[in-house]
Amino acid sequence: MNTTHSDVLILGGGVIGLASALYLLKAGASVRILEQGTPGCGSSYGNCGTITPSHAAPLAMPGMIGVALRSMLKADAPLYLDPRFDGPRLRWLLGFARHCNWRDFVRATDARAALLLRSRRLLGELVRHEKLDCEFVEQGVLYVHRTPAKLAQDRREHVSVLDRLGIDVQPLTGSEVEALEPALRPGVAGGLLHPGDARLRPDRYAAELARRVAELGGVIESGARIERFSTADARITEVHSSRGRFRGERVLLALGAWSPLLGQALGLRLPMQPGKGYSLTYSRPAQVPRHALALREASVCVTTWNEGFRLGSTMEFSGYREGLNPRRLEALRRGAAEGLREPQGAQLQEAWWGWRPMSVDEVPIIGPSTRWSNLLLATAHGMLGVSMSTATGELIASMLGGTAAPIDATPYAPARFGL
């Protein structure tokens, strides 16, 4: 069987792998992507497509472990921790608990914000310059609160974080929110508008990135399941897949939630767990929101596109358990019904689940491996892979091209975990 060689061999064809390929190609490198399914078929596909610098703050903060433990008693809670024993998941949870302090919260927030803000700027430029047809709308994301208590909590915690980062957030009264969004049911207590946020259709975004990668000479090997590695002298010499053997001067591991499983074959223990998310996609109802919405009490995200209407969110830690959980889908429907005049379209187009790649400190893992001289990692973007994709691709291209990094890459280094 012949071996195919590239400057950069990218393992994983989600938005992180595709964006990295695009920036590498624009820098003059030859690129080949190995994707076990089709481009963008993982968590890149079914999320709500919001681009959110406003989500700079991580889940890990004081008190969150108590919330997670109480969630074990309620399978439809927005944050759900499956109570069954799972060794790797338990180790991850213990590590996550150690990061639930204010010092680590600030550190993670700053690192995430730098990547999100850079990526938000680059995304607008990329969509325009590369003519990406992905329903990109720069209109902001609106948080909707139906109770004064939740509104006060978000104003106290969320707004203070964004103010420190210089990220614009506009408090609104209940009547202002209802005037802005007639699709909402009456009884809104207030809201927070994040005008710097945006939205797009994530499956179209991934497809358009794949189109540009191919047009610029990149090769995407779909259906290429990675089976094993050949190594010598601390280098990855060959990647063996179901589509053949491949070589790269550099190898980029960008497999999202599958990264820890493949990393084991290289002796790498990535401190990550899959955070399962769900979405329901309908045909458009007659009355749809003008903005992407976050219905805060129910923790439901609502996004509207030209031909679709999606309800999504929730976070379930149940290891690599596959399949849909009907109780969690029903929680999405119930949350939407509490907030929207028309919570569903006439036709359910798709019920979806996917694994988000969650690192133990909720900061992405981006940069060169300390164990393998020609390996780089770009993974662990959690719920923010689409939002962080362009800045991650730019950062990887700068590392491999030897150019100055556009942002400080130190917080994302795999070395912090001995990888």
Neighbour count for residue 113 (Cβ, 10 Å):
21
What are the structural domain ranges in the chain? 3-417
- Residue 228, Ramachandran bin (φ over 0: left; ψ between -120 and 50: alpha; else beta): beta
Neighbour count for residue 85 (Cβ, 10 Å):
7
Contacts of 118 (CB under 8 A, 6+ apart): 390, 391, 394, 406, 407
pTM given for the model? 0.95
325-354: b or e for each residue (b if 16 or more CB lie within 10 Å)?
beebbebbeebbeebbbbbbbeeeeeebbb
CA distance 144 to 177: 8
Given this model, what pLDDT does residue 362 score?
A: 95
CA distance 273 to 258: 9
H helices within 99-250, ranges in order? Answer: 102-129, 148-165, 174-180, 202-215
> Between vectors from CA 107 to CA 139 and to CA 20, what angle results, nearest 5°?
60
Which among 365, 360, 362, 354 is positioned nearest to 392, based on CA atoms?
Answer: 365
Which among 382, 140, 353 is positioned nearest to 392, based on CA atoms?
Answer: 382
Given this model, what pLDDT does residue 1 score?
A: 45
| Superfamily of 3-417 according to CATH | FAD/NAD(P)-binding domain (3.50.50.60)
pLDDT tens sequence for the chain (419 residues): 456 899 999 999 999 999 999 999 999 999 999 999 888 888 888 899 999 999 999 988 877 767 666 666 566 676 777 777 788 888 988 898 899 899 999 999 999 999 999 999 999 999 999 999 999 999 999 999 999 999 999 999 899 999 999 999 999 999 999 999 999 999 999 999 999 999 999 999 999 999 999 999 999 999 999 999 999 999 999 999 999 999 999 999 999 999 999 999 999 999 999 999 999 999 999 999 999 999 999 999 999 999 899 999 878 888 898 999 898 899 999 999 999 999 999 999 999 999 999 999 999 999 999 999 999 999 999 999 999 999 999 999 999 998 888 999 999 999 999 99
* SS3 state at 188: coil
Q: Look at the block and give the residue holding tokens 């929730």.
A: 314
Given this model, what pLDDT does residue 351 score?
A: 95
Given this model, what pLDDT does residue 74 score?
A: 67
Q: Which amino acid makes up residue 87?
A: G
